Structure 1
Amino acid sequence: MGHTNPNNSRFRFCPSCGKNSLEPDSIKSFKCGQCGFQFFLNCAAAAMAIILDHQNKILVTVRAKDPGKGTLDLPGGFAEPGESIDQALIREVKEELNLDIFDLEFFCSSANTYPYKSVVYPITDMAFTCKVTDFSQILPMDDVSGFRFIPVHDLTPGMFGMNSAQNVIKKFKKTYS
């Protein structure tokens, strides 16, 4: 198959028949040896905001929780059921920083994994450039403990704790310069 299911030891009981017979079937699925039920762990959608202030400094956040607690990140988060990815990003930036973003433009996407409470989730991260008119009401909340504005040329991917943000910063620096 090429890739091992990263959750091969996490899921054992079938959600359909309840038997301890769920086995990894692929990198993203499990199959019950008793009833044949198949369970999929498909990609979750997440979005990140690339926001520049009026001095062309990029807005970065400090993660308040694991994974990556205390490291830099880009504002954003997961889409909830029934949300488009742009609606999710608008909501997440409001929840994390009390900012209203607009003029969202797709920048890039990246495959990622997100380890959370012993389960490894497959993620598709999407980054968008966004605008903010007024930064005066900025306030770190939710899963953000702080924020900074850093000149783009001073950013290095290693400053960020999550691979997805590192990849976005690498690509953004190439296109920005």
Structure 2
Amino acid sequence: MEHHPLDSFKYCPKCGNNQFLVETFKSKKCSLCGFHYFYNPAAAVGVFVLNERGELLVGKRTFEPAKNTLDLPGGFVDFGENAETAAIREIEEETGLQLEVKQLEYLFSLPNEYIFSGFKVSTMDIFFKCIVSNGLVKGKDDISELKWVDIKSLDPSLFGLQSISQAVEMFMKSFQ
């Protein structure tokens, strides 16, 4: 049987009571103080960065999950950020490119789950596209190396995270 993320929460985070009981498939409620916790997906972003030749920027993941597999620039949305601001921040952190919100085009979103530190993380991955004129990039932060690739030659199975692989497949179809 698959381990549900809520199984790891044994005590109420508000009062410490050990009667922190399953209420629904996505929530637990404390029998003592009434605190109700909902397990919801974390917001994350991924960006299809294209250069003026129509090549896609892909990177190699530095860390688990899916270490050494291909990835798009992106990451988690921080507290107080919207998805666009997170996308711009992640692109700069991972590639050195500096963008403005007006350069981003929303594409679609996909749910994702992966194991991190032995814990199932559920995310809602929000995908954007942008075109950059400056192709000078350097892999930083969570990306060990970057390269520009022909979109038509991509193999989505080389992308280690399920939602990224699915997103690449969807994106490639728009170029056929």
Give the structure-2-normalised TM-score. 0.90
Unaligned runs of 5+ in 1: none
Query: Bigger CA drift: 90-99 or 44-53?
Result: 44-53
For residues 171 and 33 of structure 1, what CA distance do their matches in structure 2 show?
A: 45
For residues 99 and 174 of structure 1, what CA distance do their matches in structure 2 show?
A: 26
For residues 110 and 57 of structure 1, what CA distance do their matches in structure 2 show?
A: 23
Change (3 A) 1:48 1:109: same
SS at match of 2:166: helix
8 A Cα contact 2:6 2:27, kept in partner: no
Matched positions, count: 173
RMSD: 1.7
For residues 165 and 108 of structure 1, what CA distance do their matches in structure 2 show?
A: 12
The aligned residue for residue 56 of structure 1 is 54
Amino acid at match of 2:90: E
For residues 138 and 174 of structure 2, what CA distance do their matches in structure 1 show?
A: 29
Change (3 A) 1:145 1:27: farther
Amino acid at match of 1:110: L
Amino acid at match of 2:14: S
SS at match of 1:145: strand
Equivalent runs, 1:133-144 vs 2, <5 Å: 133-136=133-136, 138-144=137-143
8 A Cα contact 1:47 1:78, kept in partner: yes
Shift of 1:5: 7.4
Amino acid at match of 1:66: E
Quick one: percent identity of the two aligned structures?
Answer: 35
Per-residue Cα deviation, 1:57-110 (whole angstroms, up to 9, x for no partner): 211111111111111011011111111100000000100111123410011111
8 A Cα contact 2:61 2:71, kept in partner: yes
For residues 174 and 90 of structure 1, what CA distance do their matches in structure 2 show?
A: 25
Unaligned runs of 5+ in 2: none
